[in-house]
Structure 1
């Protein structure tokens, strides 16, 4: 019988990989250089089969092990604890050494060989600790470092958390992976900041707080709703745009001092503000000298505008100086609508504009830059457990965190995401019990980090102490659907979508009640919606949930013991940590069945592994199919040799009705205490289409109407060595360009929650 090693060698020779490796070698080369060269070459062959990326990852892991000499975890900590440039915090050193033998025995280094090449390269470049520029840490040591930093000397919980992280069941957000156990101890991902806009000196003084938040590895969201618009008399006011330039300059400067991520912030502004029109263009080419690159604009839209009666009937929309309309800053819902209409009759408006013209300008900005983000203020405030604290006027960088914030209370959130594809069994059924257990571990470990973290300002610490907000979300939802054989928007997928989020919702609340019974509820729990028995799923109309969990029994326990955390769930983008775990981002459908990895060692592309697995099992994976997928830029819809049921499962985001994406977001909304970063992919958007979609999102009760809008370029680059085919979207795209005269796409790359902070 032929051995697997012989078969593997034959395959490598057949595909020309061996000759590619040997042809690039120098006459003299070290074993480490040989391993890295072979790994890079194998990764470049990943379009032939995703297993090349796995093999490349194993070579890279072997090289990493060779250059981080084998020691036990406790010996490794002890060695670097005495180094002049030790990265470790003294409390971490004490905890790691006190439980050394038990921790050493728990570590399983062979799990490093489960990484793909891209995942391990990202981990090595971004997450593994370095001293004097040299990597000193192995992946398993990173996971144990996080576990020890979370639970200290509680060895049982430490090992339980290590195993969950090491098996890639879930992951904390990037700041935890960066800083756990180190001297910085900054673990929070998101800061919701309220600047002092009462005077020019207060506005400038607020930049010091922003600098502190950015230097703590955080992403920031803030509102400028109360900033006076630009005017000359009676007292001159510079308006919003110069302030944005100041913030942008500070973000650029602090980016130079951040070790891992650039600084960024989302600026939230109500759509009735007098300077909304120049604001919505602040990232476009129209902004000229006021253009910003580190800031992202977001509009807060009330029901009176969003219901589209003004837009539908071609009515005017009134813009105000916030100083003249104080009730618009402190009300929502019907009270806001009444105040707005009253002010239209009683206050001198800053400007009256056509609602149609304003919406068209919003859509033009989205077509060019992918932003503005759209937030629905009345839905946010009507369905929020912080409603008893005051009006919510801002979100975070990526629009999924919604908490009350003030000058004395900078809202903070620490995040984690569960790799939901890990719970698909081999028979394509789903293991909800394992998911529930993992969600409990994720909640409890994230809560434990709140007490061990450092916070950059006193208002941040005050927020954490009084609200203890966290956010548990998911990554790899599309991977789970593909593993189960479900088309993304099929009834089966939509049911699984609901049940996954209901499971996480129940598990996190159950764990938070358990913590409250033992440690007490969070200080601001009294008078909250939850304290009155009103939970998030009660706040949505027509919420659909299964009988898998007894939500009434959960409510009774909450009323008895309270909650340890004011917020428990949200859906973040997960861009960076999804790469670590080999999943697709968040709840997004795949944008292409070709996945391009951009690494320091060079770019390489692989084909969706679930697609290759499916085609291989059906005996359809061959060179002709592979070439056809490359030729069609990752779409399989026009390849005749692929069965229709496979085509349905592996549709890309461009081939899925965006209304289905919105509906699925609404269906999981009742199980998200905060919100979700929902992006839409539309090849050729028009103002009418975007208006229709946003009316639909608003009507279904979404809090975040839109995070990023993704559009397609008129043409695709031609894959190397492949004969180009006509772009099926070319005619529609050209027609859209001619009708809208949309300017070119913003060359600056979009930023995501993971790219900045989570």
Structure 2
């Protein structure tokens, strides 16, 4: 008896009851010889052995082992009552080959199956024979082997969650005769992305399929799986040289040792992308020429890194590789303008520009012209319009009366629409007006859908710039006086006690008749109108002038007159200085260790490199206007932020609506601030302090934490901020004293709407909007499902189609689903289910460490005027400098009288102190829309 006979004798008597269902429906006895023969053919094809040549003893043993394993699995299936079909047995062969590590043999087996399939007529589900048109225009039978190979590779490592076989069947079902080869790949991608709702891991399958499309487009070649990484490195110098030749890349890139940089490329990092992230990258970030993307994702990261390392005096390649490393590992992400334009011939890398409008035609139209130039190169804009005289003011040159600020805002709005951001995203502008301006009531109505269209700005964001005195008058049920800035020219540039003293003097002048043009209103009524319009239209946003200025490190060289487009940047502006900020964000969950704890050493190193990258932007940047260059080089502000806070909470099993979340927000921001300041000290030692350091709060030994006392003193109380600290801040003060600082401002938390999608984490400091919803952006509509929730439900055997349907029915909320445990309901509470107190308190804890601001969205379910009023008063008392969108789920109609909380259930924590004047009602016009769509994303800054 030979070895093969001996091998098969082990099965004698054990398989007599097993039968196989053939493709044509015939039932035949199970025959292990056929399995053995098929596996042997695959081994021979892989080893390049003819049927007459002998295989090695190791291969023969492997063939026997694989056959035995398949027979054993088949027997187990049959004993469970499952039907044994030919395709199922062949699937088991492929799976076993992969499990035992025979990947190249598995590939041969797949090819063998596909070739056998070609001998049969290939049909779709409608019975139509399918042929495809390849890239050379030839008509051939559908290449099932290619489909199988492609999907099998895309699912590698995800086999326990994703079935390439099911994807293949679903893809073929959707094909038609004479389909183009590239359309087949798109069909595979669409099939995978459509299954994300039932299994989140399919987002990575779809992304990997798309990578094949990108590689072919950028590399002009489809390398095999085994040669892709090396080919990718070898082609890198060609990519750079071609980019320079066609005028898309800076010729200075040729100064680098391109081969050295190529060796640092890590192609495996492409597999980190979700489909949404990769699609966004493809649509808007990868450089293209004549409709062809010329760079792959790793080329893209290296291009950005090279652009930021251009001015490094020593070890230029080393710094480029370090920058590339934290970008490509998703540890830190530069803002969108930096990603768009780094290493290009117009490197406009800055995110935000803040401009002050002067009260004359030349000043007004200069800012509108500057807006156009800045918007062209992907800058987000914040305009301070408070200086412009109000309606009815005297125009001395003509002895006429002014039409006020509103008509000019209409021109600014239309300019932002006309000059979009380099054709890559919409132009974005926010106009600020201080609350005492005589045109403030018309300003509040700019975003309404009713009224005179000539006095509406539907495309421009607006924000209230509110002094503390107004908030105190609201709490006191006091009056408020509106002035024209032409009569009170210094008021806009004062804050704190100096503002209060001067404002009261102007009120007394008005009472004596020395100021003719003014209006006296109820502060409470004006506050009510501000909140009503905020609720109805999403604008104007609520931002606070005094904490922004009193806590500013740069109070010795100017005044902060407004914030930026997304309310996180707070820098001085004037006619001579256009403030500029350069942004980037730390990916918090990427810095957790295997135990889910923050790796502080890793975080420190990321921050050190990130601050250097942001500082480099200032010197490399292309400045569309000279006032921006002067300001940026003089003060050197940067804005380091964070993203993925909600992911961090999920990983650490901490509900957003909890004291633990508040404490975590506090300690995390303290750690980021600590290392950011020390990193800027280190840069100052190497490169020198920024030019206006002398006399700054930094120079006076005042850190952001210390300025809370100044705010409380200037405000006369009303500062309810926890002052706890855990780091050695005296050490930081000493370092600043010894070395200075390289950057006047360091910290700002931006929305990260797009870059968080690229990296696949939650936006900024945002809570999860819903656990299942459709996300819409410029790249299309994408299913967004909470992968942490899915994993938890899988562990409890609760993840099934019924659960998917429940999540759809309940609009992404787990709260009404009875079979989900309470612990998970608390952990996965959606944004509108979290008491706003926790969002505000987390923000307050962060704000004490931040020298600028944060883009803080607020969420209110079942809104009322009183709820909204209490929420924003709490923001003010908690020391926040700014807020961003008010997100609301409005009812069809809202009660127009004051709501009594005592008859509406338990009082939320954030309503625990009720002032008499906060008795605000929201009046809703029937034709007004609710605040804003959460299914869309603001991509202004990042």
Report if TM-score (shorter chain) is over 0.5. Answer: yes
> Which residue number corresponds to residue 426 of structure 2?
262
> Which residue number corresponds to residue 530 of structure 2?
362
Deviation at 1:15, TM superposition (A): 11
| Residues 1:25 and 2:187 aligned together | no
> Which residue number corresponds to residue 690 of structure 2?
522
CA contact under 8 A between 1:368 and 1:743: conserved in structure 2? no
> Which residue number corresponds to residue 124 of structure 1?
282
Deviation at 1:168, TM superposition (A): 0.5
Instruction: List per-residue Cα deviations over 1:647-686 (Å, max 9, x = no partner).
Output: 1110011000111111110001122110011111112322
For 1:744 and 1:241, the matched residues in 2 are separated by 20
Deviation at 1:753, TM superposition (A): 9.3
Instruction: List per-residue Cα deviations over 1:541-588 (Å, max 9, x = no partner).
Output: 5554443x3211111010111000000001110001111011111101
Instruction: List per-residue Cα deviations over 1:723-753 (Å, max 9, x = no partner).
Output: xxxxxx9xxxxxx999644643169868999
| Residues 1:56 and 2:206 aligned together | yes
1:106 counterpart (258, 264, 279): 264
CA contact under 8 A between 2:751 and 2:941: conserved in structure 1? no
1:298 counterpart (463, 473, 476): 463
Output the aligned Cα RMSD: 2.6
For 1:343 and 1:240, the matched residues in 2 are separated by 21
1:411 counterpart (571, 576, 579): 579
CA contact under 8 A between 1:265 and 1:296: conserved in structure 2? yes
Deviation at 1:300, TM superposition (A): 1.1
> Which residue number corresponds to residue 213 of structure 1?
374
Does 465-474 or 317-326 show the bigger shift? 317-326
2:489 counterpart (302, 312, 326): 326
For 2:383 and 2:244, the matched residues in 1 are separated by 42
Q: Name the structure, 1 or 2, with higher relative contact order (CA <8 Å, separation 6+).
A: 1
Instruction: List per-residue Cα deviations over 1:430-455 (Å, max 9, x = no partner).
Output: 22221222111111111112111111
CA contact under 8 A between 1:517 and 1:562: conserved in structure 2? yes
Do the aligned partners of residues 287 and 298 (structure 1) sit closer, same or farther apart at CA in structure 2, a change above 3 Å counting? farther
Q: What aligned pairs does 1:138-157 form with structure 2 within 5 A after superposition? A: 138-152=296-310, 154-157=316-319
Q: What aligned pairs does 1:482-561 form with structure 2 within 5 A after superposition? A: 482-540=650-708, 543-547=722-726, 549-561=727-739
Which has the larger Rg? 2
Deviation at 1:86, TM superposition (A): 2.8
> Which residue number corresponds to residue 733 of structure 1?
none
> Which residue number corresponds to residue 607 of structure 2?
439
For 1:130 and 1:138, the matched residues in 2 are separated by 11
Does 342-351 or 415-424 show the bigger shift? 342-351
> Which residue number corresponds to residue 413 of structure 2?
248
> Which residue number corresponds to residue 565 of structure 2?
397
Instruction: List per-residue Cα deviations over 1:414-434 (Å, max 9, x = no partner).
Output: 000111111223322222221
Deviation at 1:65, TM superposition (A): 1.3
CA contact under 8 A between 1:213 and 1:456: conserved in structure 2? yes
For 2:160 and 2:200, the matched residues in 1 are separated by 17
CA contact under 8 A between 2:450 and 2:928: conserved in structure 1? no
> Which residue number corresponds to residue 642 of structure 1?
820
Instruction: List per-residue Cα deviations over 1:54-85 (Å, max 9, x = no partner).
Output: 111111112211222254364233441464x3
2:337 counterpart (150, 161, 175): 175
Do the aligned partners of residues 232 and 409 (structure 1) sit closer, same or farther apart at CA in structure 2, a change above 3 Å counting? closer
CA contact under 8 A between 1:502 and 1:545: conserved in structure 2? no
What SS is found at the alignment partner of 1:513?
Answer: helix
1:342 counterpart (493, 502, 505): 505
Gaps of 5+ in 2: 1-68, 70-91, 100-151, 220-230, 710-720, 893-904, 906-919
CA contact under 8 A between 2:162 and 2:201: conserved in structure 1? no
| Residues 1:311 and 2:495 aligned together | no
CA contact under 8 A between 2:749 and 2:853: conserved in structure 1? yes
Deviation at 1:343, TM superposition (A): 1.2
Instruction: List per-residue Cα deviations over 1:318-353 (Å, max 9, x = no partner).
Output: 100112123312211111112112211112352112
> Which residue number corresponds to residue 59 of structure 2?
none
2:622 counterpart (454, 462, 465): 454
Q: What aligned pairs does 1:84-95 form with structure 2 within 5 A after superposition? A: 85-92=246-253, 94-95=254-255
What SS is found at the alignment partner of 1:338?
Answer: helix
**Normalization by structure 2: what TM-score?**
0.74
For 2:290 and 2:205, the matched residues in 1 are separated by 30
| Residues 1:184 and 2:334 aligned together | no
For 1:402 and 1:660, the matched residues in 2 are separated by 24
What SS is found at the alignment partner of 1:177?
Answer: helix
> Which residue number corresponds to residue 732 of structure 1?
none
For 1:740 and 1:215, the matched residues in 2 are separated by 37
CA contact under 8 A between 2:308 and 2:613: conserved in structure 1? yes
What SS is found at the alignment partner of 1:486?
Answer: coil
Do the aligned partners of residues 396 and 211 (structure 1) sit closer, same or farther apart at CA in structure 2, a change above 3 Å counting? same
1:273 counterpart (414, 422, 437): 437
For 2:659 and 2:526, the matched residues in 1 are separated by 37
CA contact under 8 A between 2:462 and 2:539: conserved in structure 1? yes
| Residues 1:229 and 2:390 aligned together | yes
Do the aligned partners of residues 81 and 603 (structure 1) sit closer, same or farther apart at CA in structure 2, a change above 3 Å counting? closer
CA contact under 8 A between 1:589 and 1:653: conserved in structure 2? yes
> Which residue number corresponds to residue 721 of structure 1?
none
Deviation at 1:707, TM superposition (A): 0.8
| Residues 1:683 and 2:861 aligned together | yes
Q: What aligned pairs does 1:464-475 form with structure 2 within 5 A after superposition? A: 464-475=632-643
For 1:385 and 1:611, the matched residues in 2 are separated by 42
CA contact under 8 A between 1:612 and 1:621: conserved in structure 2? yes
For 1:482 and 1:166, the matched residues in 2 are separated by 24
**Normalization by structure 1: what TM-score?**
0.92
For 1:205 and 1:14, the matched residues in 2 are separated by 59
Gaps of 5+ in 1: 716-728, 730-735
CA contact under 8 A between 1:47 and 1:607: conserved in structure 2? yes
> Which residue number corresponds to residue 239 of structure 1?
404
Does 472-481 or 293-302 show the bigger shift? 293-302
CA contact under 8 A between 1:575 and 1:752: conserved in structure 2? no
What SS is found at the alignment partner of 2:464?
Answer: strand
What SS is found at the alignment partner of 2:391?
Answer: coil
Deviation at 1:623, TM superposition (A): 2.2
For 1:609 and 1:538, the matched residues in 2 are separated by 41
Instruction: List per-residue Cα deviations over 1:489-537 (Å, max 9, x = no partner).
Output: 3232222212221111111111110111111100000000000110112
Do the aligned partners of residues 283 and 577 (structure 1) sit closer, same or farther apart at CA in structure 2, a change above 3 Å counting? same
> Which residue number corresponds to residue 627 of structure 1?
805
Does 340-349 or 383-392 show the bigger shift? 340-349
Does 356-365 or 18-27 show the bigger shift? 18-27
For 1:692 and 1:76, the matched residues in 2 are separated by 60
For 1:491 and 1:750, the matched residues in 2 are separated by 26
Does 222-231 or 736-745 show the bigger shift? 736-745
Do the aligned partners of residues 10 and 676 (structure 1) sit closer, same or farther apart at CA in structure 2, a change above 3 Å counting? closer
Deviation at 1:146, TM superposition (A): 0.9
1:352 counterpart (505, 511, 520): 520
For 1:150 and 1:378, the matched residues in 2 are separated by 36
For 2:165 and 2:886, the matched residues in 1 are separated by 39
Do the aligned partners of residues 517 and 752 (structure 1) sit closer, same or farther apart at CA in structure 2, a change above 3 Å counting? farther
Deviation at 1:364, TM superposition (A): 1.8
Do the aligned partners of residues 14 and 509 (structure 1) sit closer, same or farther apart at CA in structure 2, a change above 3 Å counting? closer
For 2:930 and 2:802, the matched residues in 1 are separated by 36
Do the aligned partners of residues 639 and 400 (structure 1) sit closer, same or farther apart at CA in structure 2, a change above 3 Å counting? same
Do the aligned partners of residues 207 and 327 (structure 1) sit closer, same or farther apart at CA in structure 2, a change above 3 Å counting? closer
